[in-house]
């Protein structure tokens, strides 16, 4: 019986079924970032926020070392959520195509506190004539 268990364990290991954390970035499901990506379109009654699908990279700033740890793609409504360890991060949004324009958003510095989700809005300014 012990021989069978060893063979089974080795087989699972060979198939990659055993879950072993490979990075020190595994986070509690109780802290991280959440938010939405939008195109900010001016209008007579004030700015209109139009959800947009995009992606962004997440860089962890720790001990003077910048380390890219994730690439995130929002859903079709621009929404995202990512579990992260407490610390300082920089989000670098990818350009998005909107109408006839390609829009960019600058880097966003985010602090994640223990047992909290930090809300982030990735805002792209709309081109004058979309």
Q: How far apart are CA 36 and CA 81, in angstroms?
A: 9
Asked if 91 and 32 count as a contact pair (C-beta separation under 8 A), the reply is no
Tokens standing for 107?
């880097």
Looking at the predicted structure, is the pLDDT value of residue 7 above 80?
A: no
More confident residue, 4 or 130: 130
Q: Domain coordinates of the chain in residue numbers?
A: 23-125
Looking at the predicted structure, is the pLDDT value of residue 120 above 80?
A: yes
Asked if 108 and 23 count as a contact pair (C-beta separation under 8 A), the reply is no
Assigned CATH class of 23-125: mainly beta
* DSSP assignment letter at 118: E
Residue range 29-77, pLDDT digits in tens? 789 999 999 999 999 999 999 999 999 999 999 877 889 999 999 999 9
Tokens standing for 61?
């700033």
Cα–Cα distance list, 77 to 15, 18, 34, 60 (Å): 36, 34, 13, 26
Asked if 23 and 68 count as a contact pair (C-beta separation under 8 A), the reply is no
Share of the chain above pLDDT 90, in %: 65
Q: 0.95 exceeded by the pTM?
A: no
Share of the chain above pLDDT 70, in %: 76
Max CA separation in the chain (angstroms): 76
């Amino acid at each position: 019986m012990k021989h069978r268990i060893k063979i089974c364990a080795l087989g699972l290991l060979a198939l990659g079924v055993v879950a072993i954390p490979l990075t020190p970035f595994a986070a509690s499901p109780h802290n991280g970032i959440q938010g939405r990506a939008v195109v900010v379109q001016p209008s007579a009654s004030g700015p209109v926020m139009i959800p947009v699908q995009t992606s962004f990279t997440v860089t962890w700033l720790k001990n003077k070392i910048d380390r890219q740890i994730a690439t995130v793609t929002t859903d079709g409504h621009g929404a995202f959520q990512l579990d992260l360890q407490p610390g300082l991060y920089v989000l670098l949004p990818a350009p998005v195509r909107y109408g006839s324009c390609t829009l960019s958003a600058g880097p966003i510095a985010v602090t994640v506190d223990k047992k909290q989700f930090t809300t982030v809005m990735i805002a792209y300014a709309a081109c004058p004539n979309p």
